Each structure stands twice: as structure tokens, then as C-alpha cells.
């Protein structure tokens, strides 16, 4: 740690493991408990430099590791640079925050999650996709007509995301405009980034969740008018649930909205063989499930992310490549709903962008670090049937979860210059009881750690405090 006598320009922040009560900030001779600082008012005014063991992935093949390194962050919340020593950074007007022996890594991104399904986590895990939707998911989502119920559940959902260090998400809401608006306001209140979709559906669903085309367009345009600002952390995303639940007229309207307002699109693709057969019956003119979206302007005409893609191959895969459609790989959901194993190695080899999704409540876990573990395990099962397709490595899944996924939000998911500073500070002392290397420490946290080791969370350079739960 540097002393205040070394430079009058530095305010030195010390985070010591053996502090008696709280981490402390030492500046100008005054000591203040860390938890009492007003970060929003005091901590984001000028440039800051964070010192810690820094790990991130510029490339999927390997980690960048800075032992006792420094990352400089500008007042706009973007990374200025990373260095092994302080002298290499332009630190004339910077505060220096010393996190001691902790790990500093990019925050997690959840690329496919159903916020209104939070109550059903761990419920009905013995069903396949379509019965699960009809018997559990649709009845639960119908409850979100009640704004008070929605607030209670959505606050719980956001709090759990915060606990596990997920700072950006692609989120499905429900068909209910006011409940979806509430979810977006809660993300704004928390300071966490999200693309939030008012779900579109008008067939093969309960009457309570069916909305005619005109109402769907009007509801979306209300949200677009309020939230569609280019640099906003929380923005709308056009969200047809999936082809079977949307009439051709509704799919066409969704495509027109995406094009008119230059909005991204999210939906489901080739998750389950029964679902694929159903789409073929409903859209006989389409060459594949993906082509059904493509014909309505919902498949890469604007930035698009499709969840699952378990059975994507052939013409559908080629169309995804041409249209630069991103895959949201959801390993727990694919196992729980007996959908299958997505061929992520093939996607990477073919140049597709891939992110990871929790997909609650088809998936049972909102901890995105667990998705890294499950993604490796799924790829190892693929490897058993085709040794030419090597299983994913730790650096690859970390890159998928951070930089690759973050690219859907802009420059997010890395500590390279110009990237938004979304970061987690990990105190892994309880796991670090022997002479582990920094990479071993990170791996052990990914496999063995939980929210108790995440000490601080940053999104776009701001410290994110614990959201309220009703």
C-alpha cells in the first residue's frame, strides 16, 4: 500500500483483511468506515485507480493476469487502462483504491432470464418444455396483472441477481405493460443494466396472457417512448415469446417495431424437438425455425439474441452466421427440461457470438458463475461423442460469460481501454488456504464460491449497493 506522503495527488484507500470491523478509507488523515461512504455522491466524481489481483479475458484462449495490478477508470465509468505498476498509468488526479489480496474481475452478464418466473425456481423440474409452460409457467406469469405482486417478486429477483454479481441482463417480462415498466424502473433504481422485454403472445396460451396485436404495439411504444435512450443502462428489447405463441400478424408487428425504433430482439430458438416440429407445422413456408423469425424481420435485422439453439445446425446455423445472431446458451434449463445439449464448440468454431443464460425457471440457478461450470460439463459430454470437438476451457467460458456476452450491450465485459467498468471484487480468503495461483483461486471461486465472497459490485463505474426487497 502507498502512504499519503508518497504523492499529494493520491487519496489512498486501504482494505485490510484484519480490519476490526469494516474496511476503511484513509484520506486526508480521516478514517471512515467503508460502508458509511456515499459512493454515488463522492466516489464517482473524479478518476479512480483500483489495485487488486486483476483477471480478465481479452481473447478466449487465455486470461490476462495482473498480480497486484492497477486499473484506471474515468469519470464516465470507462476503463482508461490496466497496468502492473502505478507509474504506467496517468494517475495525476486519481484516487487509488487498494483492495489488498482480493480478486478483481469483470461482472457477470445473464443473457436469457425470465424475471416473472422467480417464484418457480426449483419447481416442476421433472417436466419437459411444453407441459412445463402450460402447467406452471403461464399460470404464474398471469399473476403479474397485479402490480403489487409484480413488485414483490421483481424486487426479490433483482436482489438475487445483485447477490451473484450479475450487472447486465437480457430479461423477459410478461405481456403486462405496467408490470414490465415497473421492472425497468426497478433496474434503474438499482443501477444495474438490462434490456427488458414486454413479452408478445396471442395464441396457444391462456386468455389472461393473450394480447391482440394493436394492444401489444401500443404497450411496447409506451415503454419505448419512456426508456429508449441510446446511452441508458435500461432499455427495451422486442420480445416475441416464440413462434408458436405469436400469430404471423404479431410477429410482423414485432419486426416492424424493431426496425422502426432500431431495437434489439430476443426470443427462443430450436430448444426442443417437439417445439421445432410444431413450428414447422405453423410456418410451412419457412426453411427452418430461424427462418420463421427471419421472414418477419426478427433474426439479425437489428441486434438479435436467441436462447438455447440446442438443435441448431445446417441452414439455420448458416443463417445465424450471415445475420450475426447471438446464442444464449442455457445449460441448466436444457438439462432440466430434457431439451438436449447445445453444441457450443461448433458455434465458436463457426464464428457465432455466444453468451450464457440462467433461464430461470427452466434453469434453477441465478448464479451465473455456476453457468460457467455447467457449460464446461455440457461440452465434455459432447466431447465423449466427438473427440474432434474439444470441450470448453475455463478461459473460454469466462470469455463467453463476460466479453462475448457483454458485446450485446456495447463495450462491456473486459478491462480493456474504452470498456465500461462492470466489475466484482472477490474476497476468496475462505477458499485460499494454501499456495494457490491466481488462476487457481479464480477457478476455485467459480466452482466453490458463492455470493458471500463478492465484496463489491460495480456497473458502469458506479458501486452498486444492495437493492431493497419488499
pLDDT in tens, 110-153: 999 999 999 988 888 888 888 888 899 999 999 999 999 999 99
Is 22's pLDDT higher than 50?
no
pLDDT beyond 90 at 15: no
Residue 155 has pLDDT above 50, yes or no: yes
Average pLDDT over residues 252-277: 97
E-only strand ranges, 339-461: 354-356, 423-426, 454-459
Task: Compute the mean pLDDT over every residue in the chain, rounded to the nearest whole number.
Answer: 90
Quote the CA–CA distance of 134 and 86 in Å, as a whole number: 58
pLDDT of residue 447: 98
pLDDT category of residue 40 using cuts at 50, 70 and 90? very low
Neighbouring CB atoms inside 10 A of 250's CB total 22
Confidence of residue 44 (pLDDT cuts 50, 70, 90): very low
Q: How many CB atoms lie within 10 A of CB 307?
A: 30
Can you name the CATH fold of 108-409?
TIM Barrel (3.20.20)
Beta bridge partners of 333: none
Q: How far apart are CA 386 and CA 231, in angstroms?
A: 44
Q: What is the mean pLDDT of residues 406-433?
A: 98
Region 435-450: mean pLDDT is 97
CA distances 268 to 45, 69, 275, 295, Å, are 41, 41, 10, 16
Range scoring the smallest mean pLDDT among 92-96, 264-268, 337-341: 92-96
Cα–Cα–Cα angle for 16, 19, 25, nearest 5°? 65
Query: What is the C-alpha to C-alpha distance for residues 27 and 458, in angstroms, rounded to an integer?
Result: 21
Q: What is the pLDDT of residue 162?
A: 98
For residues 226-236, average pLDDT: 96
> What would the pLDDT profile of 350-381 be if each residue is shown by its tens digit?
999 999 999 998 899 999 999 999 999 999 99
Measuring CA to CA, which residue among 6, 31, 2, 1 is closest to residue 101? 1
As a whole number, mean pLDDT of residues 39-48 equals 50
pLDDT confidence of 188, banded at 50, 70, 90?
very high
Please choose, from the candidates 249, 237, 127, 126, the residue with its C-alpha nearest in 3D space to the C-alpha of residue 183.
237
pLDDT at residue 392, rounded to an integer: 97
Exposed / middle / buried, residue 277 (Cβ in 10 Å: 0-12, 13-18, 19+): exposed
> What are phi and psi for residue 457, nearest 5 degrees?
-130, 135
DSSP state of 78: B
Q: Which residue has the cell 419437459?
A: 128
DSSP 91-118: -TT-EEEEEEEEEEEEPEEEEEEEGGGG
Please give the pLDDT value at position 127: 85
* pLDDT score for 389: 86
pLDDT of residue 431: 97
Instruction: Give the rounded percent of residues in the chain with a pLDDT score beyond 70.
Output: 90
CA-nearest of 360, 365, 367, 366 to 120 is: 360
- Percent of the chain exceeding pLDDT 90 equals 81
The model's pTM: 0.90
Q: Band the pLDDT of 42: cuts 50, 70, 90.
A: very low
User: Sign (positive/negative) of CA torsion 458, 459, 460, 463?
Assistant: negative
Angle at the Cα of 211 from the Cα atoms of 205 and 217, rounded to 5 degrees: 135
Give the confidence band of 337 by pLDDT, cuts at 50, 70, 90: confident
Q: Does domain 12-107+414-463 have CATH number 2.30.40.10?
A: yes
Task: Please state the domain extents for the chain.
Answer: 12-107+414-463, 108-409
Q: Are 12-107+414-463 and 108-409 in the same CATH fold? A: no
Amino acid at each position: 500500500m502507498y502512504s499519503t506522503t508518497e504523492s499529494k495527488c493520491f487519496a489512498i484507500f486501504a482494505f485490510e483483511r484484519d480490519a476490526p470491523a469494516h474496511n476503511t478509507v484513509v484520506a486526508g488523515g480521516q478514517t471512515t468506515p467503508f460502508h458509511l461512504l456515499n459512493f454515488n455522491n463522492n466516489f464517482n466524481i473524479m478518476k479512480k485507480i483500483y489495485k487488486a489481483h486483476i483477471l480478465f479475458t481479452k481473447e478466449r484462449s487465455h486470461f490476462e493476469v495482473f498480480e497486484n495490478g492497477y486499473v484506471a477508470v474515468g469519470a464516465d465509468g470507462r476503463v482508461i487502462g490496466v497496468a502492473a505498476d502505478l507509474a504506467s498509468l496517468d494517475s495525476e488526479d486519481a484516487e487509488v483504491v487498494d483492495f489488498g489480496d482480493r480478486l478483481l474481475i469483470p461482472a457477470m452478464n445473464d443473457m436469457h432470464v425470465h424475471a416473472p418466473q422467480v417464484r418457480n425456481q426449483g419447481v416442476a423440474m421433472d417436466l419437459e418444455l411444453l407441459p412445463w409452460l402450460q402447467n406452471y409457467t403461464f399460470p404464474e406469469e398471469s399473476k403479474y396483472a397485479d402490480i403489487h405482486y409484480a413488485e414483490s417478486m421483481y424486487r426479490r429477483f433483482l436482489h438475487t441477481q445483485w447477490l451473484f454479481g450479475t450487472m447486465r441482463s437480457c430479461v423477459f417480462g410478461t405481456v403486462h405493460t405496467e408490470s414490465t415498466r415497473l421492472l425497468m424502473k426497478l433496474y434503474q433504481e438499482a443501477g444495474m443494466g438490462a434490456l427488458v422485454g414486454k413479452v408478445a403472445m396471442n395464441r396457444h396460451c391462456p386468455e389472461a396472457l393473450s394480447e391482440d396485436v394493436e394492444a401489444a404495439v401500443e404497450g411496447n411504444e409506451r415503454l419505448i417512448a419512456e426508456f429508449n435512450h441510446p446511452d441508458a443502462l435500461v432499455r427495451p428489447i422486442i420480445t416475441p415469446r416464440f413462434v408458436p405463441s405469436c400469430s404471423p400478424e404479431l410477429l410482423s408487428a414485432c419486426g416492424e417495431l424493431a426496425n422502426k425504433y432500431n431495437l434489439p430482439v430476443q426470443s427462443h430458438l430450436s430448444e426442443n424437438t417437439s417445439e421445432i416440429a410444431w413450428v414447422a407445422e405453423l410456418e410451412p413456408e419457412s426453411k427452418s425455425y430461424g427462418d420463421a423469425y427471419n421472414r418477419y424481420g426478427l433474426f439479425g435485422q437489428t441486434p438479435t439474441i436467441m436462447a438455447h439453439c440446442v438443435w441448431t445446425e445446417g441452414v439455420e446455423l448458416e443463417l445465424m452466421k450471415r445475420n450475426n445472431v447471438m446464442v444464449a446458451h442455457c445449460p441448466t434449463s436444457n438439462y432440466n427440461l430434457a431439451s438436449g445439449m447445445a453444441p457450443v464448440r461448433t458455434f465458436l468454431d463457426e464464428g457465432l457470438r455466444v453468451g450464457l443464460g440462467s433461464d430461470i425457471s427452466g434453469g434453477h440457478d441465478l448464479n451465473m458463475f455456476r453457468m460457467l461450470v455447467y457449460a464446461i460439463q455440457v461440452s465434455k459430454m459432447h466431447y465423449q461423442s466427438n473427440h474432434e470437438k474439444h470441450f470448453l476451457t475455463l478461459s473460454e467460458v469466462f470469455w463467453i460469460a463476460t466479453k462475448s456476452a457483454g458485446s450485446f450491450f456495447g463495450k462491456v465485459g473486459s478491462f480493456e481501454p474504452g470498456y465500461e467498468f462492470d466489475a466484482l471484487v472477490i474476497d476468496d480468503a475462505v477458499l485460499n488456504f494454501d499456495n494457490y495461483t491466481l488462476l487457481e483461486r479464480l477457478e476455485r471461486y467459480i466452482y466453490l464460491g458463492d455470493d458471500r465472497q463478492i465484496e463489491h459490485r460495480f456497473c458502469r463505474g458506479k458501486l452498486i449497493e444492495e437493492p431493497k426487497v419488499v
